Amino acid sequence: MKKYFLIAACCAAVVFTLSACSAEPTPTQSPTVFVENPVVLDTPTPAVTCSTAFAEATSTPITTSYFPPVSSADFSFGPADAPVTLVEYCDFQSQGCLNTAMVIGRVIKNHDNVRFVFRPLPLIGVMDKSDKAVIAALAADEQGKFWNMYDLLFVKHEEWAGLPAAEFNAWVVREGMAAGMDGEKLQAAINAPKTTTRMTSMYEAAKKLTIPAVPLILINGALQPPYILDYKSMSDTIGLVVLGQKQFSSCPPYDIDPLKQYIATIKTEKGDIVIQLFPDKAPLAVNSFLFLARQGWYDGVTFHRVLIGFAAQAGDPSGTGKGNPGYFFNDEINDLKFDKPGMVGVANSGPNTNGSQFFITFAPEPHLDGGYTIFGQVISGLDVAEQLTPRDPDQDPTAAPGDKILSVEIEER
């Protein structure tokens, strides 16, 4: 089966708007008269276009959200200044909220730039212990143990979800004590009228929002459709939101000499991959790669797609395969071919949509010829690339993040 390097289609939350950059200067024509002291002109910028691609993801909180902003009264986990705030309205007893808790737990584990806010919404009259579970969490909060009870209720969901309602409080106190809570204080807080009043207030406030169903998820104030609440969709959305804050707003300045040699050393968790770049064959691609490398764009980025016997792909800080640096540049199809292992090309999502993503081939791949810009070749460390952890997000959307690029060092000769 033939394989290609299309940058993944963007999710519905991301819209790309293209605007052409200013026209590039045209080469100066050679004079037809004799000149006693000829001047060697600088190599002209390639006469091709570059476009900016602004990601309209919700990279900053929506100030006009229908839902109330996060406040000190909320149950919040993670840095307050995180670029992404994920708010969930849910209860503790429903299966849907249990499934979402598992997804969110994994999201938080793999994204250290997320603040999670949980807003308890008891399903009174729907689930027999939903209100009691929320009261238990609020009672634990009196000891500063809300998140301990949150974990307890979801981790041991199977133990209590089927219990008779009359037995629930005893179970909570017993398990709470085993988890390090003060049993007497927990029981007293569960029985305190103010705790029930607090739960009822949350329920009434949620009713005014006419929440149709739980779980309900907001990312930076934007309501997320229920059909994208799986791990991959949620993780991709967060990755693209964070990427939106990192993207560049214009094309990079043209700052290379096609007559020079440029060597890039990609330092990875598995070792170094050394690439000779081809500025004479693909000046735009090399210029963009050097610019991004010097800006630290690739630092910490993973090889999000590694197919044994085919190639390894990286260059997207979001890790989704959908990201770009904020601009696209044109194809530079030249006489180079994918006729040997170690050829380095630019991934794209169609003609003239080259950005930051690149790939390294592990074998001759002639079917790629003419479709992708070749801008370099591995001269050392191909074995390192071949040892990268295999990863195919198309086949396994829940795969762990790929091996990281630690840094990219550039040498000019």
Which of the two residues, 14 and 124, has the higher pLDDT score?
A: 124
| CA 53 to the chain's CA centroid | 17
What is residue 11's predicted lDDT score, i.e. its pLDDT?
37
What is residue 323's predicted lDDT score, i.e. its pLDDT?
94
Residue 329, beta-bridge partner list: 50, 354
Banded model confidence at residue 59, pLDDT cuts 50, 70, 90: very low
CA distance linking residue 192 with residue 172, whole number of Å: 15
**Within this chain, do residues 151 and 269 fall inside the same structural domain, yes or no?**
no
**Within this chain, do residues 302 and 371 fall inside the same structural domain, yes or no?**
yes
**Within this chain, do residues 239 and 266 fall inside the same structural domain, yes or no?**
no
What is residue 156's predicted lDDT score, i.e. its pLDDT?
98
CA distance linking residue 54 with residue 61, whole number of Å: 17
CA distance linking residue 119 with residue 152, whole number of Å: 17
**Residue 257, token pair as written in the block:** 């000499």
**Within this chain, do residues 164 and 237 fall inside the same structural domain, yes or no?**
yes
Cis peptide before 215 (omega within 30 of 0): yes
In a domain, 41, yes or no: no
- Average pLDDT over every residue of 187-212: 94
What is residue 170's predicted lDDT score, i.e. its pLDDT?
98
CATH code where residue 333 lies: 2.40.100.10
In a domain, 339, yes or no: yes
| CA 145 to the chain's CA centroid | 31
In a domain, 44, yes or no: no
**Within this chain, do residues 222 and 274 fall inside the same structural domain, yes or no?**
no
Are 123 and 90 in contact by the 8 Å Cβ rule? The answer is no
Q: Is 346 helix (H, G, I), strand (E, B) or coil?
A: strand
**Residue 157, token pair as written in the block:** 């969901």
Which of the two residues, 149 and 209, has the higher pLDDT score?
A: 149
Average pLDDT in the chain: 87
CA distance linking residue 31 with residue 266, whole number of Å: 44
**Within this chain, do residues 263 and 404 fall inside the same structural domain, yes or no?**
yes
Task: For 351-374, write each residue's pLDDT tens digit.
Answer: 999 999 999 999 999 999 999 999
In a domain, 401, yes or no: yes
Neighbours of 77 (CB within 10 A): 15
pLDDT above 70: residue 113: yes
Task: For 245-304, write each residue's pLDDT tens digit.
Answer: 899 989 999 999 988 999 999 999 999 999 999 999 999 999 999 999 999 999 999 999
CATH code where residue 200 lies: 3.40.30.10
In a domain, 133, yes or no: yes
In a domain, 1, yes or no: no
**Residue 132, token pair as written in the block:** 């009691």
pLDDT above 70: residue 74: yes
**Within this chain, do residues 132 and 229 fall inside the same structural domain, yes or no?**
yes
**Within this chain, do residues 309 and 194 fall inside the same structural domain, yes or no?**
no
**Within this chain, do residues 135 and 113 fall inside the same structural domain, yes or no?**
yes
Are 186 and 173 in contact by the 8 Å Cβ rule? The answer is yes
Residue 77, beta-bridge partner list: 116
Instruction: Give Cα separations from 87 to 65, 70, 201, 325, 334 (angstroms).
Output: 12, 8, 18, 28, 49
Neighbours of 134 (CB within 10 A): 27
**Within this chain, do residues 157 and 268 fall inside the same structural domain, yes or no?**
no
Instruction: Calculate helix-pair angle for 183-191, 193-208, nearest 10 degrees.
Output: 60
Asked whether the whole model's pTM tops 0.85, one would answer: no
Question: From its phi and psi, is residue 259 left (phi > 0), alpha (psi between -120 and 50) or beta?
Answer: alpha
CA distance linking residue 317 with residue 301, whole number of Å: 5
**Residue 110, token pair as written in the block:** 């793999």
What is residue 62's predicted lDDT score, i.e. its pLDDT?
54
What is residue 132's predicted lDDT score, i.e. its pLDDT?
98
pLDDT above 70: residue 216: yes
Q: Which one of 244, 271, 293 terminates a domain?
A: 244
**Residue 227, token pair as written in the block:** 């059909």
Instruction: Calculate helix-pair angle for 193-208, 130-141, nearest 10 degrees.
Output: 120
Helices and strands: H and E segment counts in the chain: 10, 16
What is the number of domains present in the chain?
2
Q: Find all residues with CB under 8 Å of 133, minimum gap 6, and list them.
A: 91, 92, 93, 122, 153, 160, 168
In a domain, 137, yes or no: yes
Task: For 303-353, write each residue's pLDDT tens digit.
Answer: 999 999 999 999 999 999 999 999 999 999 999 999 999 999 999 999 999
What is residue 41's predicted lDDT score, i.e. its pLDDT?
34
- Average pLDDT over every residue of 29-43: 33
What is residue 181's predicted lDDT score, i.e. its pLDDT?
98
DSSP strands (E only) in 25-98: 50-55, 75-77, 84-90
| Residue whose entry in the numeric block shows the structure tokens 């762990």 | 400
Instruction: For residue 209, give its domain range.
Output: 75-244
Instruction: Give Cα separations from 259 to 21, 192, 279, 389 (angstroms).
Output: 26, 79, 8, 36
Q: How far apart are the first and last CA of the chain?
A: 40
Question: From its phi and psi, is residue 230 left (phi > 0), alpha (psi between -120 and 50) or beta?
Answer: beta
Banded model confidence at residue 52, pLDDT cuts 50, 70, 90: confident
Q: Which one of 244, 272, 291 terminates a domain?
A: 244
In a domain, 49, yes or no: no
Which of the two residues, 14 and 82, has the higher pLDDT score?
A: 82
CA distance linking residue 281 with residue 258, whole number of Å: 8
**Within this chain, do residues 311 and 238 fall inside the same structural domain, yes or no?**
no
**Within this chain, do residues 398 and 326 fall inside the same structural domain, yes or no?**
yes
Q: Which one of 177, 210, 244 terminates a domain?
A: 244
- Average pLDDT over every residue of 21-46: 35
